[in-house]
């Protein structure tokens, strides 16, 4: 699929290496967006997976468990940044769909300046609060040092994570997801190779895995920025664009902060759930670490669907084509439901082999707990994918508060049930809590979507009545 179109902006610039989604076959466009996003999400997971597998095999079970705890903590901060960039991408996609290229570049400038400043603050604060945070989630003493060493390096490297995700968000907004994937592939290959070299021959331990991750993230950011500067100059702010715009900055802060809260609430919930798991012992921690890695890969399908639906809906909403945006959501929802059913079957059938791949075949207790978790949670996966489609619609149409509210509801249910049931049920309690949370969020999303559609139909009927020159009778 070719990602290059040639159109002219209002300044006379040729706009290439981008894709307008406001016309053409919807299903093929969603697929063309989603496939690179899916591969990119899987590759993102491989950053942690590569470190976990190499550390688990060559350092030991305690270090492997530390990677699991560290992954939950660092994702809290990383996905605050990812969420903020996602909010920016919705604004960029809407401006691109409406052809407002000057505002598009102003938005890029504001996102770079204020986003970079915010990232530095997050990096410093997270480093200062790291030790109390690890204590608050009941990190066992035998893995505390490993976890802290790993996270100090990762958190110091957050600026590299921000710049890559901002560039990737800009590429998504203009329909170009292929090149962000290409640069990420290079970075992941470097990350895997460098992790092995630093951990095994050089004996740098868990800190070597952390340095490999930061270096590869920085590499992907540099490659992405160089590509945008050369091939997508209409996204690069000029001196004329580097000005304060209060209204646009306010919109940027609202969209970025709500999207960041959405992502951070998800990982705050995961940290709280990790606290419940940590009380169950090292075997349960190792099992949960393996299941979260597997789930991360599985849920990458839903996340790519969310992003593709979001970009499609945002571009068409910006262009004033709400009917096409709604049709794209419908086709995306159908595809994700089908994928959710397939994922449920695969996870159930492959649970034992998948868990053993991560923690080795000699950890019988951890494997048993992990298998029980995976087989129970697999029954609810279709609901997780359904919720992803709704998130894409709400986010793309500018209703970014709804995903935040829904995720908060889901995680409240998940955390409360996990702590209530874990002492009696073990790791299966977390699986059941996750499933009940997905049920609640989908019911909430479906009810709101139905209400939105009813209001829109009334407005459409009112417009038709006005255009025909008569008003409805009043009784």
The pLDDT tens digits of the residues spanning 294-316 come to: 877 777 788 888 888 988 888 88
* Helix, strand, coil fractions of the chain, as percent rounded to 5: 85, 0, 15
Is residue 475, in this structure, part of any structural domain at all?
A: no
Q: Are 441 and 410 in contact (CB under 8 A)?
A: yes
Is residue 457, in this structure, part of any structural domain at all?
A: yes
What pLDDT is recorded for position 334? 92
Query: Per-residue pLDDT tens for 152-179?
Result: 999 999 999 899 889 988 888 888 878 8
Give the residue from 294, 291, 264 showing the smallest Cα distance to 280: 291
pLDDT, average across residues 103-115: 90
**Taking 70 as the threshold, does the pLDDT of residue 281 lie above it?**
yes
Q: How many helices (H) and strands (E) does the chain have?
A: 16, 2
What pLDDT is recorded for position 163? 92
What pLDDT is recorded for position 2? 38
250 Cβ contact partners less than 8 Å away, ≥ 6 residues apart:
none
Query: Per-residue pLDDT tens for 455-471?
Result: 877 776 665 555 555 44
**Taking 80 as the threshold, does the pLDDT of residue 196 lie above it?**
yes
**Taking 50 as the threshold, does the pLDDT of residue 77 lie above it?**
yes
Give the residue from 245, 251, 286, 253 showing the smallest Cα distance to 56: 286
Is residue 473, in this structure, part of any structural domain at all?
A: no
Residue with more model confidence, 385 or 463: 385
Is residue 232, in this structure, part of any structural domain at all?
A: yes
Q: Which domain holds residue 217?
A: 7-467
**Taking 60 as the threshold, does the pLDDT of residue 136 lie above it?**
yes
393 — pLDDT class (breaks 50, 70, 90): very high
Is residue 360, in this structure, part of any structural domain at all?
A: yes
**Taking 90 as the threshold, does the pLDDT of residue 423 lie above it?**
no
447 Cβ contact partners less than 8 Å away, ≥ 6 residues apart:
none
7 — pLDDT class (breaks 50, 70, 90): very low
User: 3-state DSSP call for residue 7?
Assistant: strand
What pLDDT is recorded for position 16? 56
What pLDDT is recorded for position 12? 45
What pLDDT is recorded for position 4? 43
DSSP-assigned letter for residue 235: G
What pLDDT is recorded for position 308? 86
3 — pLDDT class (breaks 50, 70, 90): very low
Query: 17-21, 183-187, 232-236, 306-310: lowest mean pLDDT where?
Result: 17-21
Pairwise CA distance, residues 390 & 383, whole Å: 11
Is residue 401, in this structure, part of any structural domain at all?
A: yes
Count of domains observed in the chain: 1
What pLDDT is recorded for position 288? 83
**Taking 90 as the threshold, does the pLDDT of residue 443 lie above it?**
yes
What pLDDT is recorded for position 352? 82
Residue with more model confidence, 468 or 81: 81
User: 3-state DSSP call for residue 14?
Assistant: strand
Q: What is the CA radius of gyration of the chain?
A: 23
Give the residue from 190, 123, 124, 199 showing the smallest Cα distance to 161: 123
Is residue 474, in this structure, part of any structural domain at all?
A: no
Is residue 170, in this structure, part of any structural domain at all?
A: yes
Pairwise CA distance, residues 294 & 204, whole Å: 26
Regarding pTM above 0.85, the answer is: no
């Amino acid at each position: 699929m070719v990602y290059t179109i040639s159109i002219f902006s209002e300044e006379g610039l040729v706009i290439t290496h981008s894709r307008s989604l406001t016309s053409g076959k919807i299903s093929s466009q969603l697929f063309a967006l989603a496939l690179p996003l899916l591969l990119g999400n899987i590759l993102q997971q491989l950053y942690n997976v590569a470190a976990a597998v190499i550390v688990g095999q060559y350092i030991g079970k305690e270090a492997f468990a530390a990677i699991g705890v560290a992954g939950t903590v660092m994702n809290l901060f990383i996905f605050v940044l990812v969420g903020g960039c996602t909010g920016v991408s919705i604004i960029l996609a809407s401006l691109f769909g409406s052809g407002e290229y000057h505002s598009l570049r102003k938005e890029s400038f504001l996102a770079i300046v204020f986003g970079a400043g915010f990232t530095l603050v997050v990096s410093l604060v997270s480093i200062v609060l790291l030790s109390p945070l690890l204590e608050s989630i009941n990190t066992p003493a035998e893995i505390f040092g490993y976890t802290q060493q790993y996270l100090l390096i990762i958190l110091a490297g957050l600026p590299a994570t921000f710049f890559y995700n901002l560039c990737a968000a800009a590429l998504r907004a203009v329909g170009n997801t292929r090149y962000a994937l290409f640069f990420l592939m290079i970075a992941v290959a470097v990350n895997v190779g460098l992790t092995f070299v630093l951990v095994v021959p050089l004996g740098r331990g868990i800190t070597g895995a952390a340095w490999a991750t930061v270096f590869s993230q920085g590499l992907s950011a540099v490659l992405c920025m160089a590509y945008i500067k050369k091939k997508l100059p209409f996204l690069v702010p000029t001196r004329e664009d580097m000005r304060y715009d209060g209204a646009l900055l306010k919109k940027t802060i609202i969209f970025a902060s709500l999207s960041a809260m959405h992502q951070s609430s998800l990982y705050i919930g995961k940290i709280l759930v990790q606290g419940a798991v940590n009380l169950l012992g090292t075997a349960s921690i190792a099992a949960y670490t393996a299941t979260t890695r597997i789930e991360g890969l599985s849920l990458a399908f839903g996340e790519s669907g969310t992003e593709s639906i979001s970009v499609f809906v945002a571009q068409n909403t910006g262009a004033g084509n709400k009917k096409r945006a709604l049709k794209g959501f419908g086709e995306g929802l159908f595809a994700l439901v089908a994928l959710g059913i397939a994922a449920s079957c695969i996870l159930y059938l492959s649970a034992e082999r998948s868990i053993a791949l991560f923690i080795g075949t000699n950890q019988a207790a951890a494997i048993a707990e992990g298998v029980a978790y995976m087989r129970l949670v697999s029954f609810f996966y279709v609901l997780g994918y359904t919720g992803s489609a709704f998130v894409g619609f709400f986010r793309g149409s500018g209703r970014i508060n709804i995903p935040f509210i829904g995720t908060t509801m889901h995680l409240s249910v998940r955390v409360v049930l996990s702590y209530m049931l874990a002492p009696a049920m073990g790791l299966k309690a977390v699986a059941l809590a996750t499933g009940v949370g997905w049920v609640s969020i989908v019911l909430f999303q479906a009810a709101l979507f139905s209400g939105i559609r009813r209001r829109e139909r009334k407005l459409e009927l009112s417009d038709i009545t006005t255009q025909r020159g008569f008003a409805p009778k009043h009784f």
